[in-house]
Amino acid sequence: MFRSVFMCVFALVLAGPAGALAAGGVLLEAPDLKWVLVSQAGGSAVQVLDLSRGVTPLATLRTAGRGRLLAVHLQREGRRVWMLGERGLDVHDAYSGRLLEHWALPEGLRPERLEAGLGGRPLVTSGERRYEALLGAAFLVPSGGRLSLR
Please report the pLDDT score of residue 90 as a whole number.
Answer: 93
Give the model confidence (pLDDT) of 57-81 as tens digits: 999 998 867 788 999 999 988 899 9
Q: In the chain, what are the domain boundaries?
A: 2-142
Please report the pLDDT score of residue 6 as a whole number.
Answer: 36
- Give me the mean pLDDT over the 45-64 stretch: 90
| Nearest Cα residue to 37 out of 68, 75, 66, 64 | 75
User: Is residue 22 classed exposed, middle or buried when 0-12, 13-18 and 19+ CB atoms within 10 A define those classes?
Assistant: middle
Q: Is residue 147 very low, low, confident or very high in pLDDT (cuts 50, 70, 90)? A: low
Q: Is residue 35 very low, low, confident or very high in pLDDT (cuts 50, 70, 90)? A: very high
Cβ 70 vs Cβ 21: under 8 Å:
no
pLDDT at 148 over 60: no
List, in sequence order, every residue forming a beta bridge with 27; answer none if it has no partner: 38
Q: Is residue 82 very low, low, confident or very high in pLDDT (cuts 50, 70, 90)? A: very high
Q: What's the gap between Cα 136 and its chain centre?
A: 20
Give the model confidence (pLDDT) of 85-118 as tens digits: 988 999 999 989 999 999 999 888 899 999 888 7
State the virtual CA torsion across 26, 101, 107, 42 in degrees, nearest 10.
20
pLDDT at 124 over 90: yes
| Second CATH level (architecture) for the domain 2-142 | Beta Barrel (2.40)
